[in-house]
Amino acid sequence: MSDTTNTHPQLTGAEILWATLAGEGTTTVFGYPGGAILPIYDALRKFPTIHHVLVRHEQGASHMADGYARASGRVGVCMATSGPGATNLVTGIATAMLDSIPMVAITGQVSSKVLGSDAFQEVDITGITLPVTKHNFLVTRAEDIAATVRLAFQIATSGRPGPVLIDITKDAQQASAAFDFEAAAPPKARPHPMLGTALTAHSPAIREAVAMISASARPVILAGHGIMQSGAEAEVLAFAERLGIPIASTLLGLGAIPAGHPLSLGMMGMHGESWVNHAIQEADLLLAFGMRFDDRVTGNLAHYAPHAKKIHIEIDPSEISKNVRVDVALVGDLKAVLQTLLPWTGADAQARRPWLDDIETSKGTVAVRDIQNLPDNGHLYAAHVINDIWREAVAAGREKETVIVTDVGQHQMWEAQYFKHEAPRSLVTSGGLGTMGFALPAAIGAKFACPGKDVWVIAGDGGFQMTAAELSTIVQEGLAINIAVINNGFLGMVRQWQEAFYDKNYSASPILSPDFVMLAQAHGIAGAHVSQREYVTETVTKARTSGAAFLINFQVEKEDGVYPMIAPGAALHEMVRRPHQDPLLETAEDA
């Protein structure tokens, strides 16, 4: 023991935490101090390579870490004190869990000698977060901190990524121990027991998949978030081009394949393009790449892709045939599996030209989503705003250097429809949990991850108010973040469902908002109101080029809806179109 002590420095548990985070490459941590984590905050001054961002609410810290991870592909780190500080992280942890985001959350805990006594601000945060973390730890000894942190990073990033929580008692933070970063390295990650041996060209599943692909005349690739998690964008595109297979994207898969690519069909699912959903329903083979057949993607499972065989490439064995029964499962990292599969597939893109032509024909005039060309009837629609933000970015040559961070609701779906994502990780949004209040703090994380990119918040008036206090975090950190509030005076998606399925009983969906521009100014952020189409682009340019944070309140049509949409219980092809009495896009949507 004495040799170890002489060779390696004695540090407090708090110092060991920061030293280990630095060793793992952490440069930014989002958090909020409190009694049970004060030793950690006291030690922060000794680690100048790590920048701490003081949030205004712990939920904001978890969303910032999430946004940082989504925009960068690196692990996001957040921290909070015990009790309410820890529980305020839970929504953000759950958001990261459902979307497979690598995140490490660190919480302070009461001293080990009073654990279980209902001490002040004591809560069993490991028990609370057990269902929404990949793994969590309670650390009661300084000696265990380094190894636990390094293992947490490994768990968060290996296999299917996800959040890990580390709860550290106050006495463990204050005690001292020898610090040896290298000795604290975890063993090599063990493969999931269901993975078995790695797939090779001779694996029966690979051979079966090759035969299925060769026999298909009407295949469709379903491109999910796993493409970006795997870094397999180039492999997916090479596969699709070699075989002439069109690509439909999930919400979180947008940007994995450039929207302008000839094989890119657009978004599938509840608010996806009609021709995309029809292509899936008419396909004879679906190739699911890093997606999990979420219910918002499939519609009624009994009628989902009834003529199609299904090949699923997925790193998480538990997702295989969980929602949709598949014919061939290729379990493993998508990039590695495609590298194995591609050499054995024939280059027969021309053979599928008739299928691609059929899809193109099926678009008809429904594909004319370009609302720019429709008459300006004096009303400002959210679709106008989002399309103009995209067009302004294109005109400035910044479309691949723009990250859009959305909240959840109608504006989120309009963004997916009207902003054409050409680059991976250019859309940051909450998919599985659908977390309102996500956008503003997540954009702060995204800006720290990508300081040279233009970061836009697109949020509704309801969700924006949930985390609006983080405007002061933006100012304190000097961040140039552009904020577009799509203000329609309603909880828009709730109102649309009430209109469609609850006889227009708008119960608790009208929402009063403050003057958002004055609110921004109170925090020290400039802003502008826009209610007419002609002023959208010039105001967007002003925001983007201001060099500082800027908020635009877009006063849009109150009772606009997101179309097409699939009603609950309906099949993927049974889409509800825009009502004929609605003049917006009537020509385009209903032709």
Q: Phi, psi (5° rounding) for residue 484?
A: -110, 110
In eight-state DSSP terms, residue 410 is H
> What's the Cα-to-Cα distance from 494 to each of 397, 432, 498, 566, rounded to whole Å?
36, 17, 6, 15
Report which residue type is found at 471.
L
DSSP bridge pairs for 52: 29
Task: Calculate the alpha carbon distances from 356 to 258, 346, 353 in Å.
Answer: 17, 18, 5
Establish whether 173 is a catalytic residue.
no
DSSP 32-98: ---GGGHHHHHHGGG-TTSEEEE-SSHHHHHHHHHHHHHHHSSPEEEEE-STHHHHTTHHHHHHHHH
- Quick one: 264 exposed, middle or buried, by C-beta within 10 A (0-12, 13-18, 19+)? buried
391 vs 372: CA distance, rounded Å:
10
| Catalytic residue, candidates 30, 79, 137, 170 | 170
Catalytic residue from among 121, 174, 339, 476: 121
Q: How far is CA 35 from CA 106, 120, 141, in A?
A: 14, 10, 18
Calculate ∠ Cα 553-433-109, nearest 5°.
Answer: 100
Is residue 308 within 8 A of residue 277, CB to CB? The reply is: no
C-beta of residue 439 within 8 angstroms of C-beta of residue 473: no
Of residues 493, 498, 516, 554, which has the active-site annotation? Answer: 493
The one-letter amino acid at 225? H
From CA 494, how far away is CA 460, in angstroms rounded? 12
Radius of gyration for the alpha carbons in the chain, expressed in angstroms and rounded: 25
Which of 490, 577, 572 is CA-nearest to residue 324?
572
- In the set 15, 24, 30, 58, the catalytic residue is 58
User: Is 493 a known active-site residue?
Assistant: yes
- Which listed residue (46, 113, 120, 194) is catalytic? 120
> Max alpha carbon distance in the chain (Å)?
83
CA distances from 37 to 113, 121, 170, 178 (A): 16, 11, 7, 21
- Other Cβ atoms within 10 Å of 294 Cβ, number: 17
Residue 431 tokens read as 């998919």
Q: Among candidates 315, 335, 129, which has minimal Cα distance to 230?
A: 335
Distance CA 79, CA 363 (A): 48
Q: Is 291 marked active-site?
A: no
What positions carry a catalytic annotation?
A: 58, 120-121, 170, 493
